[in-house]
Structure 1
Amino acid sequence: MDGAIVYLFFFFFVVCVFTSSENKSYDEMTDGEREQIEKTLFVLDQFCGSDVLYHELIQIAPASCSLPKLHTVKECRSHLNATIGKDIEKVPGPHAGAQRNLLHAITAQLGDMDDIPPKVRVRVSCDGARMSRKSNFVIVTYSLLDIEQYSSPKGNHVIAVVNGPESYATLETSLKDVWFQVSKLAADKKVVVKGKEVAVETILGGDLKFLGLVLGLSAATAHHACCWCKVHKDHRWNVDFPSNKYTDPPLARSMGELQTQNPVVPSAAEAGPPKRGNKFGQKAKPLVNLPLEQVVIDELHLMLRITDVLTDNLLQQTMWLDKQAKSKTLAGPHTEMLVTAISACGVSFSVWEKTNADGSGSGRLDFTSLMGPDKKILLQNLPEKLEGSGALNADTENDVLLMWTTFNDIYANLGKEEFTDGEITQLEEKMKTWIKRFCELGFTAPGFGKKRVTPYIHAMLFHCPDIIRRFGNLKQFTGNGVEKTNDEARRSHMQKSNKWDACADVLLHSGRRQILSHHCREKRKYKKKDEEYWTANIKESRRKRKRISR
């Protein structure tokens, strides 16, 4: 009997020793211990660190370093996933996908605030993002413009992910619940948070491909491709019309016309020759129901697509000069000088001949698809590198380079936070002058001309000023945050998902980061002592660095 008592005493002693704070479960821990675990989980999710990596770090960490145990981090993750997963469900339709309720997400986010604002502006965006060679995700996000950092992933929250092509059929079937919620939010103009009504202004933003799809319009190559007016593509360049010509009826579109598919017919001089049953580019009913005044263009893609046109024009001109010089190769000396000038800006760039389906040469050049930061570098530095380089025709070189420098000034002005009425008028005049030169150069320089005025160029002049007058600036509708959120989704898909339920994994990963975002470390401020080094010398030193693989 005495031996049994001693055995039981020893057993309880061992249990007490091994149930110290280090071995407690997540539910048994104090608030301070949970906070440390949440910080650890946030860092792992922020940088897509794996559990194996964290386990190895614990093993090599010194004894004085009290890192949370891996099992507690996993328990914390499971706890958050269970909370987030209550609001996640499968999307309808044939494609794999997952979604959250937009209204619930906004209400919950506002409810977590200490001071609930009386009014918020909600921007809903959608974009396609390639995840791998075989998978392409369509990602829907929302952001609270007046409260969050709209140009950062922290201010853009994923509410739906669909594994399918970015097409009207996908948006219509798989995301119909999301569009119903967007339309309801726009119609109600409010949400109720803890018994308090909060006024809501709903804004739909994105690139022209997404906006055209969700409005049921044809592609950018159609005769009537503008989302806001019915202008024919042959008249997109016309700056002789007054500014309100494209924003007022009968040339302007309206949501009522799109819903009934019975547009008001403008004159032939504005919308092209009359055509029986002309729907002015409308192929289907719009997926959302909100005023077109609340549909805005993405400022980032505006710059990207117009810069693509200017870059392609440079290539067309150098190819034409090489042809005149009877070069034996498609990318002759003038094209090589252009590539050298672009590389001198610190941008990796190359050209190659496109091939036909049978593998033969097409006689056309393609070039490296550049990212946003690289294109901004070219806008600022390429004209100086090309001036006097001999890559362009001496007769039109100054005019062509002026198109680059002027557009760089226009884009910088479009990115301003505040405008006066006079500044908007000055910006309009500068853009009109730019488009006039663009059209006039069509007679002397390849790639320019009236037929090369794209929907983005048309929207920049005739619709962006109207958006600025209505909302104060265009910068708040930038797609930087959306694109960075796509990058985060890609990292999550490749590094934090076993691909069994990939779309839901992206939503869970995004939801955890949103809940734990208050644990984000405030970065220390760094003052650059040598500005010239960071703006110019660093690029030169990188360019001169020896490459082992070449």
Structure 2
Amino acid sequence: MLCLSQCILDAVEEEKENMFHPTDQIKLKQVKFESYNDLYDINFEQLDIMGEIKRIEAVVKSLDRNHISREAYRSLARIEHSIPREEAVSTTRQRINIEMRKNIPLTLVDLLQPTIFEPITEEPHITDNAVITNILESIGILTPETSTLYIRISGDGRNVGHKVKHVMVTMTLLNDLNGLQKPDNNYTLVLYPGAESYESLKNALTPLISDLSILKEKGFDQIGGNHWPVELFFSSDWKFLSICLGIKAANAQHFCPWCDCSKDEINTSTKTINKSMDEIKDNYNQINGHIKKPLFYMIPLQNWVCDELHIFLRITDRLWELMLSDLRREITNEEIWKEKILLEMQRLKITFQFWREKNSNNLSYTSLMGPDKLKILKEFNLIAIFQSTERAIQIQELWNQFNELYILMQNMQTTGETFRYKAQTWLNAFLAPSKGHPNRSNFVRGMYQIQDVTPYIHVLVNHSRVY
């Protein structure tokens, strides 16, 4: 076969100038033979070792990303002979795993069983040069010993694909406010597959909790002698926060992580943080709503922050639901107001659909991301949707006030008193009662009821100003 291949190559080299233009740069790269069902591939180019390694690594990445099993790839390789052999792919995967274990040591944790780790006795040090450089760039002109490093711990559970769930805990430095959203300034501390639950988090976070306790007490000792005091913060969505704090979910009678508010008084606007972490840690079973010991007990309760983005998203969801409820009351023909909403969404260039669930026949609609929700809050023309212009204006004013609150929440110059006044004013507008007699021309319909107030609204009005 090799001799025959060489003859073919010689023939091509001899005749190509007679049959092709010199600038075509014709090259014979491969010849294939078949003999008694045996296939032979003869390649004439010099083997590109690095290119082949990258090609196989790309195959490994594709197999892992798409959850393709070893047997499935073997079957595919038997059909398509041009792809790398399974043995080469397996060898490359093992090499990558070895390199990853060297660079990122992993500890296996049984999430269903309590985990016992060796106690950490030495003081924590920053030893990674890249981390040191990043921290020093972030803290700028801060002075060791006197300036404090503000470290935020965050966490969330998320879907990776359709069936796989991961839980991630990260940290970032709050000293560099301009870099908070940059990926390079957020570090993954814990990552494991599965759903977020108290038991799995408790087992997976055991070494991190130990580190954070020492870190809060002793601060950071940087190589070279500098010492940095540390203050810890925690921020997440409501579900993750309540799990880590050991409190019942947001739909419980006593739902608030920061105060003793119950659902019966959820419309109040004068609540303050009247719990302490020490009290919760030592006597959680005697405090309404708390059912387990907090995981991050070393972080003061006033430093537990419900993420402002989640506050915005959940309250806009509520405002949208209440607006649809108003439409159903005003226009009984569902198809009419649905068509109006779809036309308005088209005007705003927002992809949006309604549909009926198969089993329950309940009306569902597209779940929008933050930028689209903000666009609706500011630009959605309610007058084009409602028959009652007066009602449309009422709702629009409420939306505008909430948008103003969201802007104030993001503004570092906003004082607590200013935000509290604006938030209380907005809640009063949200709960504005009806005026006049329903059968008279001077009747002004009120807005919403106490049961329409959500835990996120409670936090916005009573606790957001603290942060």
Matched-pair contact (CA < 8 Å) for 2:111–2:199: no
Q: Distance in 2 between matches of 1:393 and 1:176?
A: 58
Q: Distance in 1 between matches of 2:97 and 2:165?
A: 27
CA deviations over 1:503-530 (Å, ceiling 9, x no partner): xxxxxxxxxxxxxxxxxxxxxxxxxxxx
Matched-pair contact (CA < 8 Å) for 2:157–2:166: yes
Check 1:138–1:104 CA distance in 2 against 1; reply closer, same or farther (3 A cut). Answer: farther
Output the amino acid matched with 2:291.
K
Structure-1 residue corresponding to 2:368: 370
- Please, which moves more after superposition, 290-299 or 140-149? 140-149
Q: Distance in 1 between matches of 2:125 and 2:160?
A: 25
Shift of 1:170: 2.0
Equivalent residue in structure 2 for 1:379, among 350, 360, 377: 377
1:282 aligns with 2:329: no
1:207 aligns with 2:228: no
Check 1:170–1:50 CA distance in 2 against 1; reply closer, same or farther (3 A cut). Answer: closer
TM-score, reference length from structure 2: 0.68
Matched-pair contact (CA < 8 Å) for 2:377–2:399: yes
Shift of 1:316: 1.2
1:311 aligns with 2:320: yes
Q: Secondary structure of the residue that 1:440 maps to in structure 2?
A: coil
Shift of 1:305: 0.6
Matched-pair contact (CA < 8 Å) for 1:205–1:296: yes
Output the amino acid matched with 1:466.
V
Q: Distance in 2 between matches of 1:90 and 1:132?
A: 23
Q: Distance in 1 between matches of 2:221 and 2:241?
A: 25
Check 1:193–1:294 CA distance in 2 against 1; reply closer, same or farther (3 A cut). Answer: farther
Structure-2 residue corresponding to 1:452: 452
CA deviations over 1:296-325 (Å, ceiling 9, x no partner): 1211111111111011111111222233xx
Equivalent residue in structure 1 for 2:347, among 344, 348, 351: 344
Structure-1 residue corresponding to 2:196: 166
1:414 aligns with 2:409: yes
1:180 aligns with 2:210: yes
CA deviations over 1:136-182 (Å, ceiling 9, x no partner): 10011111122471112222111111111112222122323223323
Q: Secondary structure of the residue that 1:201 maps to in structure 2?
A: strand
Instruction: Give aligned-pair identity as a percent.
Output: 27
Structure 1 spans left out of the alignment, 5+ residues: 1-22, 26-40, 52-73, 264-277, 468-550
Superposition pairs for residues 82-93 of structure 1, below 5 Å? Answer: 83-85=102-104, 87-93=105-111
CA deviations over 1:412-451 (Å, ceiling 9, x no partner): 11111333x4xx4232211111101111268987983211
Structure-2 residue corresponding to 1:127: 156
Q: Distance in 2 between matches of 1:365 and 1:150?
A: 38
Q: Secondary structure of the residue that 1:138 maps to in structure 2?
A: strand
Check 1:224–1:369 CA distance in 2 against 1; reply closer, same or farther (3 A cut). Answer: same
1:396 aligns with 2:391: yes
Matched-pair contact (CA < 8 Å) for 1:204–1:294: yes
Output the amino acid matched with 1:346.
K
CA deviations over 1:193-228 (Å, ceiling 9, x no partner): 443212111111111111111110000101111111
Matched-pair contact (CA < 8 Å) for 2:280–2:287: no
Matched-pair contact (CA < 8 Å) for 1:123–1:205: yes
Structure-2 residue corresponding to 1:254: 276
Matched-pair contact (CA < 8 Å) for 2:430–2:447: no
After TM superposition, which residue ranges in structure 1, 4 or more long, deviate above 6 angstroms? 48-51, 76-80, 442-447
Q: Distance in 2 between matches of 1:246 and 1:318?
A: 36
CA deviations over 1:389-414 (Å, ceiling 9, x no partner): 14354342211111111111111111
Equivalent residue in structure 1 for 2:400, among 386, 400, 405: 405
Shift of 1:124: 0.7
Q: Distance in 1 between matches of 2:341 and 2:210?
A: 50
Q: Secondary structure of the residue that 1:320 maps to in structure 2?
A: helix
Structure-2 residue corresponding to 1:81: 100
Q: Secondary structure of the residue that 1:143 maps to in structure 2?
A: strand
Shift of 1:375: 1.1
Tell me: higher relative CO, structure 1 or 2? Use CA pairs within 8 A at least 6 residues apart.
1
Matched-pair contact (CA < 8 Å) for 1:215–1:285: yes
Shift of 1:192: 4.2
Task: Give me the CA root mean square deviation.
Answer: 3.6
Superposition pairs for residues 17-56 of structure 1, below 5 Å? Answer: none
Equivalent residue in structure 2 for 1:334, among 316, 332, 337: 337
Q: Secondary structure of the residue that 2:227 maps to in structure 1?
A: strand
Output the amino acid matched with 2:306.
I
CA deviations over 1:478-499 (Å, ceiling 9, x no partner): xxxxxxxxxxxxxxxxxxxxxx
Output the amino acid matched with 2:164.
S
Matched-pair contact (CA < 8 Å) for 1:318–1:391: yes
Check 1:49–1:226 CA distance in 2 against 1; reply closer, same or farther (3 A cut). Answer: same
Check 1:393–1:152 CA distance in 2 against 1; reply closer, same or farther (3 A cut). Answer: farther
Larger Rg: 2
Check 1:446–1:84 CA distance in 2 against 1; reply closer, same or farther (3 A cut). Answer: farther
Check 1:104–1:337 CA distance in 2 against 1; reply closer, same or farther (3 A cut). Answer: farther
1:320 aligns with 2:329: yes
Check 1:191–1:220 CA distance in 2 against 1; reply closer, same or farther (3 A cut). Answer: farther
Check 1:121–1:83 CA distance in 2 against 1; reply closer, same or farther (3 A cut). Answer: farther
Structure 2 spans left out of the alignment, 5+ residues: 1-47, 65-92, 436-443
1:138 aligns with 2:167: yes
Q: Distance in 2 between matches of 1:353 and 1:442?
A: 34
Check 1:310–1:49 CA distance in 2 against 1; reply closer, same or farther (3 A cut). Answer: same
Matched-pair contact (CA < 8 Å) for 2:171–2:187: yes
Structure-2 residue corresponding to 1:474: none
Shift of 1:130: 0.2
Aligned residue pair count? 362
Output the amino acid matched with 2:132.
G
